[in-house]
Amino acid sequence: MARDTGPGAGAGAGTEVGARGKWWPLVAITLGNFMLIMDVTIVNTALPEIARDLDASFTSLQWVMDIYALALAALLMAAGSAADLFGRRRLYLLGLAVFALSSLACGLAPDPGLLIAARALQGVGAAAMFATNTPLLMATYAGRDRGVAFGVWGGTSGAAAAVGPVLGGVLTEGLDWRAIFLVNLPLTVFAGWLTLRTVGESTGRAGGRVDVAGVLLFTGFAGALTYGLIRGGEEGWGDAGTALSLGAAGLALVGFVLVERRLRQPMFDLGLLRSPAFVVLMVAAVVLQASAFPYLTYVAMWLQSVLGMSPIEAGLAVTPLAVAALVVGVIGGRLLSHLPPRVPVSGGLLLVGAGALLNAALVDGDAGWAALAPGLAVAGLGVGLATPVLVSAALGLVPGERAGMASGAVNTSRQFGYALGIAVLGTVFAARVRSVFTDGTAAAAAAPETAAGAPDPEAAGHAAEAISGGHAADVVAAAPPGPARHAVERLAGDAFVAGIDRVCLISGVVAVAAALLVFAVVRDERGQGDRGSAGGQGGQADEGGQGGQRDGTRSASGATGAGETRGAGGVVGAAGTGGVASAGA
């Protein structure tokens, strides 16, 4: 019989479930996790339609993708602390409600600005949902049931990342891009109803608090840095707004460090950074997300706006990464726990880098969608290898009472890595597209057969911006028929591919460098780390058997490793995680 558990379990929640219905709480919790991860990858295939319908610029599309992961990263650890204090079920239900309302707002958004604002709110709801997933599972299940529950939870995380692009294509092509958000409404209602009926309340240990100053300063740092990077790519690095934003990010970071040093119960204990291996694992989490997933955004637009594929076809074309990650996570979960953490983490990053470099080498102006498959599959193997071990490796480097904080920090780093990757690589992508297209139009203007239809430099710059934003077909259609139109069509394709090539090259080199760093710095810590990685079952069961103390020490801020180790090849990372994400998450 499922009941309220944990140090602060609430009485009288009215959630008694018979033995035959003991898995309904698992359905309620994993459904929320499924949605928050899927909402990273599901958007990729809809971006060209969003751009056309809302007349959105490339910068707006960046924010549609970025703001969700940014809100999730900024609030994840704070949501964990709040859940420990006020109740995990209560915060999960609140997250579902916010996620549902913001999904409705996304589906009804009349312009890019409101869509971006609604996506930010969606990220807030996702943070509350994700922060409470693993503590609720730990409070609900014990022993063998707990291992099964975390295995299912991890498997559905990977499945969400794999299903997202295809479902996004089906909904966009069969109905409308707005349906990718509206589909969340009946799912959140069902998940909320099931949670009220079957999931018991629990809290962390008494005496905790929410580090409000730390939350505000970290959110300010992450937001100002991301805004500065995106604005710099759009307006130039000498722009006053860019400099002001980056300066504000630096000040917020300094303020965060000062505040965290003085608090007795900080959101993040800076003492953890005294371990070089822990710092490197944080960097690895950022790089893994930034190198594996952001470039899929530009690939999805290339497939549709340049190659003319349908949203469904484009969604299927990018699934090799998520499918490979899911397969490795499911099959290799138990094997990974017997390896020193640096082996799967560095090996995974090496494969992610190799996959990105393969894409840079194979995708050219004459390539079709099939050129992506080898690189995406190799990168997916790397994601499936590295993602499940990151948290458990971090747990092996910190004291037991800081386990929840460490896992939350790694998960926050992953989401921030995705947001940072979209900002940095998007800037590189747009600059490369502009450079290649404007140089090509200048050459076309000098050729007698295409000179009459070649755009002037200012028009070429606007056209390049439109191509980056998924409007390549409109740019081609606006060119005069004949040789000039053929030249613009060829240039648009070459410019887009050049942008993808550049971001894949950077992603690959950075991932390989991070792999070498992990292998050099992170040593075998299995003697300590087994407490968080025990095959995806034992670690969680042991923690629960000790009265949930680790869980009460902010483990709500992120998975404590076991759920991810067993079959969670795409946990938030294959997003967009994602890719939450796509996700990401």
Which amino acid is residue 456, in one-letter code? Answer: D
Phi and psi of 2, rounded to 5°? -75, 140
DSSP secondary structure string, 351-410? HHHHHHHHHHHH--TT--GGGGHHHHHHHHHHHHHHHHHHHHHHHTTS-GGGHHHHHHHH
At residue 243, what is the residue type? A
Please report where in the chains the tokens 């887009």 appear, as a residue.
Answer: 496
CA 2, CA 25: separation in Å to the nearest integer?
8
Output the CA–CA distances (angstroms, integers) from residue 216 to 212, 230, 241, 350, 530, in the order listed: 6, 21, 21, 35, 34
| Distances, alpha carbon 469 to alpha carbons 58, 61, 78, 279, in Å | 4, 7, 34, 36
Q: Is 579 helix (H, G, I), strand (E, B) or coil?
A: strand
State the DSSP H helix or E strand holding residue 297, giving kind and residue range, or none if neither.
helix 295-301
Residues 6+ away with beta carbon under 8 Å from 75: 123, 124, 127, 128, 215, 219
**Residue 248 contacts by C-beta under 8 Å, 6 or more apart in sequence?**
220, 224, 228
From first to last of its 585 residues, the chain has per-residue pLDDT tens of: 344 444 334 333 444 445 557 788 888 888 888 888 888 878 888 888 888 888 888 888 888 888 888 888 888 777 777 777 778 888 899 999 999 999 999 999 999 989 999 999 999 999 888 888 877 887 788 777 777 777 677 667 667 777 778 888 889 888 888 999 999 999 999 999 988 888 887 766 655 677 788 878 888 888 888 888 888 777 777 778 888 988 998 998 898 888 888 877 777 778 778 888 888 888 998 898 888 888 888 888 888 888 888 888 888 888 888 788 877 766 765 666 677 777 888 888 999 999 999 998 888 877 788 888 899 999 888 888 887 777 777 777 777 666 667 777 777 888 888 888 888 888 888 888 888 877 777 665 555 555 555 566 666 667 777 777 767 776 777 666 777 677 777 787 788 888 889 999 999 999 999 999 988 888 765 444 444 333 333 333 333 333 333 333 334 343 333 333 333 333 333 333 333 333 344
Contact 569, 325 (CB under 8 A): yes
Query: Helices 538-545 and 526-533 sit at what angle, rounded to 10 degrees?
Result: 80
- Tokens describing residue 78: 């704070």
> How open is the CA angle 208-213-218, to the nearest 5 degrees?
110
Maximum Cα interatomic distance, the chain, rounded to a whole number of Å: 83
